[in-house]
């Protein structure tokens, strides 16, 4: 059996970006913002738990280091 992907990366990203926009919108009231933030935390914990339980693959450490360097450069260039 070959690899089958039952999810859409773009739909997942779109959902997170929508929650981000809602959370960071200055017109969003604190009730809605807090509800949105709790949903983001729940997603984060699910992802963290899933990654912690998964195996480590060849090249993963190098890939993570390269991606972290990119993120650091992006953060530094924002200031």
Q: Residue 1's pLDDT band (boundaries 50, 70, 90)?
A: low
pLDDT, residue 3, reads 75
Mean pLDDT of 5-20: 92
Where along the chain do its domains lie?
9-78
Mean pLDDT of 4-33: 93
Write down the mean pLDDT value for the chain: 93
For residues 47 and 41, is the Cβ–Cβ distance under 8 A? no
pTM of the model: 0.79
- The continuous run of DSSP H or E covering 56 comes out as none
pLDDT, residue 5, reads 78
Mean pLDDT of 55-75: 96
Which long-range CB contacts under 8 A does 1-9 form with residues at least 24 apart? none
């Amino acid at each position: 059996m070959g690899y089958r992907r039952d999810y859409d990366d773009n739909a997942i990203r779109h959902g997170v970006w929508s929650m981000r926009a809602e959370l960071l919108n200055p017109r969003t009231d604190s009730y809605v913002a807090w509800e949105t933030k709790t949903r983001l935390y729940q997603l984060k914990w699910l992802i963290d738990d899933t990654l912690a339980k998964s195996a480590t693959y060849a090249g993963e450490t190098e890939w993570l280091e390269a991606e972290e360097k990119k993120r650091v450069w992006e953060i530094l260039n924002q200031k």
